[in-house]
Amino acid sequence: MSPRRTDVLVIGSGLSGLIASLLLARKGLRVLIVTKDEIDASNSHLAQGGIATVADLAHDSFQKHRDDTLAAGDGLNDPAAVDFFVQRGPDIVAFLRDMGVQFSTRANGDLDLGWEGGHTERRVVHAGDITGNELIGVLKRAVFREHLITIWQHHTAIDIISTRKFLLANEDRAVGAYVLSHEGTVVTVEARAVLLATGGCGRVYLYTSNPDVATGDGVAIGFRAGIPAVNMEMIQFHPTILYHEKVRSTLLSEALRGEGGVLKTRDGNTFMERYHPLRSLAPRDVTARAIDTELKKRGDDFVLLDMTMLDREFIVNRFPNLFKKCLDAGIDMREDPIPVVPAAHYMCGGLRTTPEGDTCVPGLFIAGETAHTGLHGANRLASNSLLEAAIMARCAADGIARWLGEASGAPAALPLWNEEGVSDSDEQVVIKQNWDEIRHCMWNYVGIVRSDKRLERALKRVSLIKQEIDDYYWNFKVNRDLLELRNITLVAEIIIRSAMRRKESRGLHYTTDHPGRSTEARDTEIRREDIID
């Protein structure tokens, strides 16, 4: 199949991918968006809370937003990156409103500002409790209207084509990517610049609030292209998602506990009093650790969130969406305690970039959750991630346009995908088995509470699986399951190795062997040569 040519290849259609694509097209550039599923399958689409920004200048200030972000990040943020994002907040919200995003307002027309954990002021701009739905809806419609943008849904990017890897030139440069189409063929896309906007990696873990597409592909793809991964051990776990055989990834907001919901073990006893004076209202990380400890101690699969003592009418009026979601799953929260587990929610680390999305590989840019800019440090302040994704996308669009103005032409011919000697997989069961094994292993050994021994065990198992998958990858025709498995395995290994390097407990990384915090805050950095030979 002959290569497909475009100016910019954007991989991913979440908040960062869509904003960047629109702005690039407005600069007169041809954009090809490839996205793994439907256009709106993304973390961005699921966002509930909103975007943190200083909007009420009578009470709030950039300094306060900065201080709150640094306090959450536990000494590991890059203060310059924090300033970069905090100061651009009001401008990005104005930009989104200009695009047509309808944020919730008060009777006087001012933005309605939410208050979330870790913030000392009201500063979360939102669209009801479905902010992501509003953002992606508006941007999606704009993208479909733009004639310079082509969208390939159900297409999975496999790897970046770089001049270094294929000996096309002396200097290293991204010139395209291999993409698996929904028909199972691999297309060579030739692009003058590539933007990775592929989101997070929640599905590396057994329980996650993230959708199926969040398999850390961008981290794996960029890492294989030579970009170092930073602070990947800093995975944020949400304390309560619904535990259900069929209904997955339903986040049960902290507001349920805020209004009086109580956490209990399966036998109906409370336990949070043993972990924090605020009991069920303890901070997010303490609650997640407490639940994890109880589950491991008792061998249970879930704990209960009991709302049954609250007024029946109040429950329905205050939580209409969650009440309905639980009811659809067969749980009437007015009568039955809700089974819950903590779940992987957000990747605070990522691939090293500047806040503008530049990387060490010329022509390859990154925006959003895949990137590590230094904003979040060891723990993300609530609602700072949409802020980061939107601002990065806008800056990356400018950076890409600049790069295209300066870069020389593409190399003569890109190598096509080579399928010589490969056959159809006859053992799809191997892929399923390894998927399950990685996710269980990461949950049990590299989850909320870690130890040296658990990390060593995890690394051994993941290394074995990696060998098996490598064989598979080179000998059989690729499909989406195999590509994702290859990526989650690499990302799992990066997380484990990062966690092994951090001999302290800080922010989201808690290990029983090194419970104290060291005096010096250092990033962990894993490079390609540490893992891939």
Ligand X SMILES: Cc1cc2nc3c(=O)[nH]c(=O)nc-3n(C[C@H](O)[C@H](O)[C@H](O)COP(=O)(O)OP(=O)(O)OC[C@H]3O[C@@H](n4cnc5c(N)ncnc54)[C@H](O)[C@@H]3O)c2cc1C
Verify binding: residue 209, ligand X, rule CB under 6 A.
Answer: yes
Q: Which of 66, 203, 284, 502 is catalytic?
A: 284
Q: Which residue lies nearer to ligand X by CB, 6 or 48? A: 48
List C-alpha distances in Å: 218 to 23, 108, 195, 203, 450. Answer: 21, 43, 10, 13, 25
CB 462 within 8 A of CB 479: no
DSSP state for residue 334 in the 8-state scheme = T
If we measure between CA atoms, which residue out of 445, 465, 442 comes closest to residue 453? 445
| Residue that the structure tokens 């096309």 belong to | 168
The dihedral sign for the CA sequence 14, 18, 19, 24 = positive
Least distance (Å) between residue 249 CB and ligand X: 7
* Contact mark string toward ligand X, 12..41, x via CB under 6 A: xxxxxx----------------xxxx---x
Q: Which residue lies nearer to ligand X by CB, 345 or 466? A: 345
Name the β-bridge partners of 366. 196
If we measure between CA atoms, which residue out of 276, 280, 273 comes closest to residue 252? 280
Q: Which residue lies nearer to ligand X by CB, 306 or 369? A: 369
Binding range to ligand X, per CB under 6 A, among 45-53, 300-308, 333-341, 426-434: 45-53
Half-sphere exposure of 153 (CA within 13 A, CB side): 10
Verify binding: residue 386, ligand X, rule CB under 6 A.
Answer: yes
Residues 262-291 close enough to bind ligand X by CB under 6 A: none
Q: Contacting ligand X (CB under 6 A), which of 73, 89, 176, 199?
A: 199
Tokens of 99: 């695009």
List C-alpha distances in Å: 38 to 33, 147, 390. Answer: 12, 19, 20
Sequence-distant (6+) residues with CB within 8 A of 507 are 73, 74, 76, 234, 348, 377, 378, 379
Verify binding: residue 217, ligand X, rule CB under 6 A.
Answer: yes
Least distance (Å) between residue 345 CB and ligand X: 6
Residues 237-256 close enough to bind ligand X by CB under 6 A: 251
Total binding residues for ligand X by CB under 6 A? 44
Q: Contacting ligand X (CB under 6 A), which of 21, 53, 162, 198?
A: 198
Least distance (Å) between residue 135 CB and ligand X: 9
If we measure between CA atoms, which residue out of 306, 256, 315, 312 comes closest to residue 281? 256
Q: Which residue lies nearer to ligand X by CB, 44 or 498? A: 44
Least distance (Å) between residue 134 CB and ligand X: 12
97 is catalytic: no
Edge-to-edge order in the sheet of strand 235-242: 235-242, 338-347, 303-306, 262-264
Q: What are phi and psi of 520, to 5 degrees?
A: -105, 130
Sequence-distant (6+) residues with CB within 8 A of 433 are none
Least distance (Å) between residue 509 CB and ligand X: 19
* Contact mark string toward ligand X, 343..382, x via CB under 6 A: ---x---------------------xx-------------
* Whole-number CA gyration radius for the chain: 23
Least distance (Å) between residue 13 CB and ligand X: 4
Least distance (Å) between residue 359 CB and ligand X: 15
Least distance (Å) between residue 464 CB and ligand X: 24
Q: What's the CA gap between 516 and 503, in Å, rounded?
A: 9
Q: Which residue lies nearer to ligand X by CB, 157 or 340? A: 157
CB 131 within 8 A of CB 49: yes
Q: What's the CA gap between 442 and 446, in Å, rounded?
A: 5
Q: Contacting ligand X (CB under 6 A), which of 46, 338, 361, 430?
A: 46
Q: What's the CA gap between 484 and 375, in Å, rounded?
A: 27
Q: Which residue lies nearer to ligand X by CB, 120 or 512? A: 120
Tokens of 529: 């040569």
Q: Contacting ligand X (CB under 6 A), which of 6, 21, 43, 498?
A: 43
* Contact mark string toward ligand X, 177..196, x via CB under 6 A: --------------------
Verify binding: residue 48, ligand X, rule CB under 6 A.
Answer: yes
Q: What's the CA gap between 417 and 1, in Å, rounded?
A: 9
Q: Which residues carry out catalysis?
A: 284
Binding site for ligand X (CB under 6 A): 11-17, 34-37, 41-44, 46-51, 131-132, 156-157, 197-200, 209-210, 213-214, 217-218, 251, 346, 368-369, 383-386, 389
